[in-house]
Amino acid sequence: MPSLGADMEEGKLIEWLVKPSDRVAKGDIVAVVETQKGAIEIEIFEAGVIGALLAEPGQTLPVGAPLARLGAADEDEGGAVPAAPKAEVPVPAPAAAPKPPVQPAAPVPAATATADGGTVLASPAARARAAERGIALEAVAGSGPSGAILLSDVERHVPAPATPVAEPAPEERPKGKPGLDMIEMRRAIAAAMSRSKREIPHYYLSHEIDLQSAQDWLSARNADRTPDRRLLMGAMLIRASVQALAKVPELNGRFEAGPYSPSASVHCGLAVALRGGGLIAPAILDAQAMDVDAIMQAMRDMIARTRIGRLRNSEITQGTITISALGETGVDALFGVIYPPQVALVGFGAPRLRPMVREGRVEPRLGVTATLAADHRVSDGRRGALFLAEIDRLLQEPEHP
Instruction: Give yes or no for a contact between 140 and 159, defined as CB atoms under 8 angstroms apart.
Output: no
The proportion of the chain whose per-residue pLDDT surpasses 70, expressed as a percent, equals: 77
Q: What is residue 46's predicted lDDT score, i.e. its pLDDT?
A: 86
- Is residue 117 situated within a structural domain? no
For the domain that residue 267 is a member of, what is the CATH number?
3.30.559.10
Instruction: Read off the pLDDT of residues 209-221 as tens digits, 9 standing for 90 and up.
Output: 999 999 999 999 9
Residue 171 has pLDDT above 70, yes or no: no
DSSP state at residue 169: S
pLDDT for 38: 72
Which range of residues forms the domain containing residue 382? 201-396
| Whole-number Cα distances in Å, 61 to 12, 74, 126, 190, 293 | 6, 30, 21, 22, 40
Query: Is 77's pLDDT higher than 70?
Result: no
What is the phi/psi pair of residue 179, to 5°?
Answer: 80, 5
To the nearest whole number, what is the mean pLDDT of the chain?
80
pTM of the model: 0.66
> pLDDT tens digits, residue range 335-353?
999 999 999 999 999 999 9
Domain membership of residue 359 (yes or no) is: yes
Q: Per the domain annotation, does 84 fall within a domain?
A: no
User: What mean pLDDT is predicted for residues 65-82?
Assistant: 67
Judge whether residue 131 has pLDDT over 80: no
How many residues are given for the chain?
401
Residue 93 in any domain: the answer is no
pLDDT over threshold 80, residue 110: no
Specify the number of domains making up the chain: 1
| Residue 246 · residue 394 · CB < 8 Å | no
Q: Is residue 290 included in any domain, yes or no? A: yes
Decide if pLDDT at 118 tops 50.
Answer: no
Domain-located, residue 23: no
Contact present, 150 and 179 (Cβ < 8 Å)? no
Q: What is the pLDDT of residue 313?
A: 87
